[in-house]
Structure 1
Amino acid sequence: MSRTVTVLLADDETLLRAGVRAVLTSGPGIEVVAEAADGREAVDLALRHRPDVCLLDIRMPRLDGLGAAAELARVVPGTAVVMLTTFSEDAYIADALGSGAAGFLLKSGDPRELIAGVRAVAEGGACLSPTVARHVLAQLGDGRLTRGAAARARIAGLTGREREVLGLVGAGLSNAEIARRLSLVEGTVKGYVSAILAGLGVRNRVQAAILAHEAGLVPAS
């Protein structure tokens, strides 16, 4: 049996926290170890509990989700951060990419997506909701083709296998899942991912995932 994934949930809306907690604890393997009503409290509780995953609302008092994510990356780097977003908060996503977030999920999304996303980032994967990805790319408007061309140019130096791995990173798969999909050893996949991040000049898997979507590498689900 796989280990239990521990989660810290931070949102200033009590009802939303209750709903997310209910979803996460509806099945085995996930335990919500603490809840916070603002970003500062989230950082303090993360230092105390050292959770595998911290779910952060973007808009919170005292310290917002972006500030909390950046601080968590410094003080508890072993905790993966997932941002809870709404369609009205697209403008924040680019900033959050630079703050060390490992994923983005919609508050109004499919509960199964939330559970799968938390498990994926706990295993070292990226968690980019397909709905969020499609919506963000759509908001690029007329610049999307230009960005797509630029993304394809950036991945031109990758090998065929590296592009295949990048596409699966874009689909939100963890290293273990990619290894099973491609019949590789997990350590080999780790090496590919490290080489991809370095070759593309991106900081984390979510930035790589966005690039994979822009380049059209993500396989159809």
Structure 2
Amino acid sequence: MSAPALIVLRDICFSFSPTKPVLNHASFVLAPGEKIALTGPNGAGKTTLLHIMMGLQTPQTGTIEILQKTCKTEKDFSAIRGKVGLLFQDSDDQLFCPTVIEDVAFGPLNLGYNDAQALEISYKTLADLGLSGFENRITHQLSGGEKRLVALATVLAMAPDILLLDEPTNGLDQTVESRLTDILQALPQAMVIISHNRSFLDQVATRKVTLHNGDLISGDETIKNTIAGKTS
């Protein structure tokens, strides 16, 4: 029997204005171990979709299940956010502490780890991303690529079950992008990845879903079958 889906969106409708729907009865499933490339033109609503999964935007209609729990209210989403890591498109939206180590340790501390445990997790996470020695760097003085990696470190330090990555390769040079690609390939977490970097997606993603005219289009019929309860 298949493992339960990690994210299930059913019949989601969302619009910023009545005349232009962003999501029009869209449905989506993320299964364990999947790394889904979420593609589509600029302005199609890809970032909005990730924000809906995190409860940062509220759809007009439809249901959201995260880790087998129906999420409707802020309380519902708060209970699962430590298990779902979102990398924002703009790293400056994610980094708010004076130093790198404070930013990375913030998540583990909020998950209940003590200071020593949070620091240990943070040092290891930075080392895994090739950022040893960055601990006491001033966050706002980092380059764009460095901020991108530190922002990712803040997400990975919480050891989430699901990763939602919005343009993770933005600002990275080829060497750092290659390292990031290797890291994401090796991670066990299921992922939804927005990126215009086709080469990166070809290496990391296990399948592709395209957001087009408010609908999510995939060549994999597993989505429809899972929603209909037909998977074995």
TM-score, length of structure 1 as denominator length: 0.36
Larger helix proportion of the pair: 1
- Structure with the bigger percentage of strand: 2
Higher relative contact order (CA 8 A, sep 6+): 2
**Bigger-Rg structure (1/2):** 2
